[in-house]
Structure 1
């Protein structure tokens, strides 16, 4: 009789543990992109969706990027997808020559979209995903669209 009570108590404890864990397993955090800091407020924000979402470190993620820009995309403009640490250091980046994928120029007001497979690096701490269209990197770059999110 004692062993049946012990088995019953053990089963009850296991069931409570499983029931407590279920809501946490079903909760999915999605990545939310917004405009980039330090750019004019009228800079277009790119729409970015990820698959899988959230990103999985040391694997490939599919980025679907779209937006309608206020400036033409011409030769010299590239799509930048970067993982940046809290100190502003680039951990990893992919640079795509837009005009090798679509016919340039892409006139202002014309919807632009692309899908890119990007390797997600290993990172620690706060890391940002930056997606932008620009004619270079640094303070002299002309950024014509941008989005950022916390990884």
Structure 2
């Protein structure tokens, strides 16, 4: 019996909470375009979430529900293994 390899399925990049964060850390809903990363191209990150505490006046985000779009130019080369991290915080 001969089997034909299954066609590879494109999978959306999954952003999971960092394992070192406390269990009550707020998770973010992140969509990256293009996905997967295109070397040297502008990557767009649509980031949404709901904070557990209100963001105070003067923060660049306002209210408990937020949505932002950020762009980042991918490097021309990447190592075989790499990590993309997205975080919202205050200093």
If the TM-score is normalised by the length of the shorter chain, which range does it land in? 0.7 to 0.9
Q: Which residue of 2 aligns with 1:55?
A: 37
Q: Which residue of 1 aligns with 2:66?
A: 112
Q: State the partner residue of 1:132.
A: 87
Larger Rg: 1
Poorly superposed stretches of 4+, deviation over 4 Å: none
Alignment of 1:60-75 (within 5 A): 60-74=42-56, 75=58
- 1:29 is aligned to 2:17: no
Distance apart, 1:112 and its partner CA: 0.4
- Give the gaps of 5 or more residues in structure 2: none
TM-score, structure 2 as length reference: 0.78
* C-alpha distance in structure 2 between counterparts of 1:54 and 1:73, whole Å: 32
More strand by share: 1
Over residues 66-100 of structure 1, what are the superposed CA-to-partner deviations in whole Å (9 max), with x where a residue is unaligned?
0001123233x5xxxxxxxxxxxxxxxxxxxxx2x
Q: CA deviation at 1:63?
A: 0.6
Equivalence map 1:30-45=2 (5 Å): 30-45=12-27
1:22-41 Cα shifts (integer Å, max 9, x gaps): x34xx313201111121111
Say how many residue pairs are matched.
Answer: 85
